Structure 1
Amino acid sequence: MIEDLKTKVNADEMLVKRGRFLTTTFLLEVGATAWLIAIVEGRIVSVSRGPFVMPSWSFALRASEAEWGHFWSARPQPGFHDLMALIKRRTLKAEGNLRVFMANLRYFKEALVKLRATGAAS
């Protein structure tokens, strides 16, 4: 599922335009599985699954599989609907250079929402 992030984000020209000044690599941890996601000028250039020996990243987003599962459901409940809601509930840990994350918060919110299940979205 995480592998689809590259295709889904890069297909959204408005999202790529929003991130045109963003070049970074961040770590996304889903339970025990780590993913390195490299972004160059708003386009995701690689999504690599760990384990990694010495990964280099600017910031990390870490949550359990269950938390991400709720976040990526077709219609997440309040508290699971937004990255900041997960942080507020202390179920998502953001660490590292949070300046990069916060300066591009809307980009990351919209990018990670692309992994939500489709279906009864009305």
Structure 2
Amino acid sequence: MIEKLPELVNGDERLVWRGRFLTVDFLIQVGDDSYLVSIQSGRIVSVERGPFYMRSWKFSVRAPAEAWEKLWDPVPRPGYTDILGVMKRGEARIEGDLQPLIANLRYMKEILATPRRLKGGH
């Protein structure tokens, strides 16, 4: 699902506009699988699958695959409506330099939830 982020995000001009001030590389970990996501001016320019050696990123968002699947349910149940809810439940970790994430929180929460669209959600 993470590999689909470029088409899901870049095809949504409203979402790209919301992230227009963000340029960052960050890591998403889904279970044992890691992905390095590069964003430039709100557009996802690449998603690379790990493992990664000698690479850097500003922050990481890590959760078990089951937690991501619950986040991506078409109508997620309470506690799984956004990544902060998953973190509050103790099922996700957000680590590193959090300034870019917090400064662009709505954009980041929306891009992390976009795989929900592949299951008929919004």
Matched residues, percent identical?
49
Are residue 81 (structure 1) and residue 81 (structure 2) matched?
A: yes
Post-superposition offset of 1:88: 1.0
Distance 1:67 1:59 in 2: 19
Partner of 1:98: 98
What residue number does 1:50 align with?
A: 50
Letter in 2 for 1:6: P
- SS of the residue corresponding to residue 115 of structure 1 reads helix
Partner of 1:118: 119
2: CA distance between counterparts of 1:65 and 1:118?
A: 16
The CA deviation at 1:82 is: 1.2
3-state SS in 1 of match to 2:68: helix
**Cα distance in 1 for residues equivalent to 2:84 and 2:52:** 27
2:28 corresponding residue in structure 1: 28
Instruction: Measure the CA separation in 2 of the matches of 1:17 and 1:53.
Output: 32
TM superposition shift of 1:55: 2.0
Q: Distance in 1 between matches of 2:110 and 2:62?
A: 17
Give the paired residue count.
121
TM-score under structure 1 normalisation? Answer: 0.94
Q: Which amino acid aligns with 2:62?
A: R
Q: Tell me, in whole angstroms, the C-alpha distance in 2 between the residues paired with 1:96 and 1:86.
A: 18
Alignment correspondent of 2:40: 40
Where does structure 2 lack aligned partners over 5 or more consecutive residues? none
Question: Which of structure 1's runs of 4+ aligned residues deviate more than 2 A?
Answer: none
Structure 1 residues without counterparts, runs of 5 or longer = none
Are positions 1:14 and 2:7 aligned together?
A: no
TM-score (norm. length: structure 2): 0.94
Please state how far the C-alpha of 1:15 moved relative to its aligned partner: 0.8
